Amino acid sequence: MGEHTRIDNEKRIALLIDADNAPAAKIDVILAEVARHGVANVRRAYGNWKSPHLGSWEKVLHEYAIRPIQQFAYSTGKNASDMAMVIDAMDLMYARNLDGFAIVSSDADFTPLVMRLLTEGMKVYGFGESKTPLAFRSACSRFTYLEALGSEAEAEQASNLAPAGASAQPTRKSRAEMRQDTRLVQMLRTAVSSAAEGDDGWANLSAVGSQIGNQASFDSRNYGYAKLSGLVTEIALFEMRKDGKTFYVRTAPPRTVAKKTTKSAAKKSPGPQT
């Protein structure tokens, strides 16, 4: 009985892949990430499967039960696969059998589609490379860089194999870089304030994460931090405490923030020269 209840309550998600703009090597971690939100009971990949550059995708289609959707390029410079993917997404939306969509692409052309799905109450989880335009990243309920997915061992191996100057995973943002990101700072402060439970300003960090997810597309891994707690600790604009396994956070007074910044700068500065 319990098992049937659990399955019935799982969210149904359509995984739609723009094979022309997504790496096949990441499909396992993409599916693992989608599984955190629900069941990908619809899995489709779009492209011209007669094109040799999709050979890497052909090798994983059967293994991961992904249905290839053939779309010929009817004219040069036009991506018919994008149009086919949008049409299918709208058909799936109107069928009312789904709770959300996972869209794998680094193409900003899907931004209007995402916005339309959101107006119908659908959750949209976006996956793309770090080069993905801001418009598409911001439109999604949650957007995750493909470079941020995978184990640390995989990331290290990819880094060793990557050409000189290439980045295999998002570079961890420094404290200074994150503080200069006014959108990030404002988003964190607003979420902490909204999630605060009492007059003392303390908020459950889990509730803060949920609040951020409701107001914007955000994933701490895109900044190089595996968990939100690590990012909040590093940015040092908040006080944090731990009660058992639960983290709590509140906005730090300006004096505390300045003190932490000064102490951090002192640690990095060289000692007197002799």
Cα–Cα distance for residue pair 178/2, rounded to 1 Å: 44
Same domain for 61 and 123? yes
pLDDT of 170 higher than 90: no
Residue 160 has pLDDT above 60, yes or no: no
Whole-model pTM: value is 0.64
Q: What is the DSSP string of 22-89?
A: S-GGGHHHHHHHHHTT-EEEEEEEEE-TTSGGGHHHHHHHTTTTPEEEE----STT--HHHHHHHHHH
Domain boundary residue, one of 154, 183, 213: 154
State percent of the chain over pLDDT 90. 31
Q: Is residue 228 part of a domain?
A: yes
Q: Tell me, yes or no, whether 21 and 135 share the same domain.
A: yes
Q: Which residues contact 165 (CB under 8 A, 6 or more apart)?
A: none
52 inside domain: yes
User: C-alpha dihedral over 192, 198, 201, 205, to 10 degrees?
Assistant: -40
pLDDT at 264: 54
Domain hosting 19: range is: 11-154
Could you give the CA distance from residue 143 to residue 127 in angstroms, rounded to a whole number? Answer: 6
Residue 163: is its pLDDT beyond 70?
no
- How far is 210 from 166, CA to CA, in rounded Å? 33
Task: Give CA–CA dist 53/73, Å, rounded.
Answer: 14
Q: Band the pLDDT of 265: cuts 50, 70, 90.
A: low
Asked, for residue 190, whether it belongs to a domain, the answer is yes
Which residue would you say has higher pLDDT here, 155 or 200?
200
List pLDDT tens digits, range 81-131. Answer: 788 999 999 999 999 899 999 999 998 899 999 999 999 999 999 999 989
Q: What is the CATH number of the domain that holds 126?
A: 3.40.50.1010
Question: Are 55 and 106 part of one and the same domain?
Answer: yes
Q: Name the domain count of the chain.
A: 2
- Name which of 8-17, 250-259, 264-273 the model is least confident about: 264-273
Do residue 191 and residue 115 come from a single domain?
no
**Is the residue at 119 inside a domain?**
yes
Same domain, 146 and 34: yes
Same domain for 27 and 111: yes
Residue 170 lies in a domain: no
Least confident of 29-38, 160-169, 172-181, 228-237: 160-169
pLDDT for 134 beyond 60:
yes
Q: Cβ distance 85 to 107 under 8 Å? A: no
Residue (of 150, 148, 121, 151) closest to 137 by Cα position: 148
> Do 100 and 50 have their domain in common?
yes
Q: Which residue has the tokens 């899995």?
A: 43
Q: Kindly give, in sequence order, each residue whose CB lies less than 8 Å from that of residue 195, ignoring residues fewer than 6 positions away.
A: 203, 204, 207, 208, 210, 211
Tell whether 20 and 131 lie within a shared domain.
yes
